[in-house]
Amino acid sequence: MKETLIETFSPEETFEVGRKIGEKAYGGMVVTLTGDLGAGKTVFTKGLAAGLGITELVNSPTFTILQIYEGGRYPFYHFDVYRIGDISEMEEIGYEDCFYGEGVCLVEWADLIEEILPEHFLHVTISTDMERGFYYRTIRLEEK
């Protein structure tokens, strides 16, 4: 398992980390994203979408589990499974066509659907450390 730790000191830097991953993303890639409220998950996701060439505004999919963005180099499937009741809801959405399709998936709160995650994915964890300052974040990238 490969692991990389990146420190950022502004939202722009976190956006850039996401953008670089989006630029190197490939069809069928699954990224899982973990971090407390306000950690910077949406900032990171916007960066990743920009790296995919998506110009549409990307936001947290608060009221829908899945938001689909076309128009980039790959379709971008943005899942937020925070409000999911059980796995059958993922099946109703047709998650398999996304996870095992030609697009790029990003899943927030992926620990809630651990049993259906694919064999390999990139796990991203964003953490704050208030002792290091208001704008400090660590971004852990784990290839699983």
Site residues (vs Mg ion, CB under 5 A): 41-42, 60
User: What order of strands is seen across the sheet that includes strand 30-34?
Assistant: 3-8, 137-143, 122-128, 30-34, 104-108, 76-80, 66-69
Tell me which residue has its CB nearest to ligand ADP: 40
- Please report whether residue 11 would count as binding ligand ADP according to CB under 6 A: yes
- Please report whether residue 137 would count as binding ligand ADP according to CB under 6 A: yes
- Please report whether residue 39 would count as binding ligand ADP according to CB under 6 A: yes
- Please report whether residue 124 would count as binding ligand ADP according to CB under 6 A: no
Task: Show the DSSP H helices in 3-115 as ranges.
Answer: 11-24, 41-51, 87-93, 95-99
Closer residue to Mg ion, CB minimum distance, 98 or 126: 126
- Please report whether residue 60 would count as binding ligand ADP according to CB under 6 A: yes
Residue 88 per-residue DSSP state: H
**Contact partner, 67, from Mg ion, ligand ADP, none, Cβ < 5-8 Å per class:** none
- Please report whether residue 107 would count as binding ligand ADP according to CB under 6 A: no
Rounded distance, CA 15 to CA 8, Å? 10
Total Cβ atoms within 10 A of residue 41: 23
